Structures are given as structure tokens and as C-alpha cells.
Amino acid sequence: MLWKLIVAIALGAVAGYLANGIMGGKKNSLLLNILLGIGGGFVGGWIGSLLGIGGGWISGLLLAIGGACLVIWLYRKFFK
């Protein structure tokens, strides 16, 4: 259980960094990218479970990046 949480946080952090590069625009701080990526990882995982997608490392990372892009977009709309 703890191992899965640690892996989810690590994947979310990587996803946040990659999603910020994909989204372009103004660069956020590293800590903010990590936090938005972790949130995006949970959002992407939730959407993937609703659609019946996921279960592997690659699909998990892709869902996390997609979720992180969504969270970064929402963050920029509401806080910038």
C-alpha cells in the first residue's frame, strides 16, 4: 500500500514536470509543478478508472500527464 502511494507521487511529480513543458507558457516553480503533477496524477487515474483504462506503468504515466495538463490548465485559468 505504501509502495503504491510512493510510486504514484513519484509518477505525479514526473508528470507535472512533463506537463508543464507540454503546456508551454510561463514556467512554474519546481515545487508547484510537482504538486500540480501529483494532483493531475490522481485526476488522470480517476478518469482512467472511469473509462476502464490503466493498470500499467506506461498507461499510468500517460494518464498522469493528461491529468496534470488538465490541472495546470485549470490552475492557470483560476489563479493567473
pLDDT in tens, 50-77: 988 877 778 888 888 899 899 889 988 9
Q: What are the respective helix, strand and coil percentages of the chain, to the nearest 5?
A: 85, 0, 15
Please tell me the pTM assigned to this model: 0.82
**pLDDT band at residue 32 using 50, 70 and 90 as cut-offs:** confident
**pLDDT band at residue 25 using 50, 70 and 90 as cut-offs:** low
Cα 41 to Cα 15, 31, 50: the distances in Å are 7, 15, 14
Place of cell 510512493: 6
Distance CA 80, CA 77 (A): 6
Burial of 56 (0-12, 13-18, 19+ CB in 10 A): exposed
Percent of the chain at pLDDT above 90? Answer: 6
pLDDT at 35 > cutoff 70:
yes
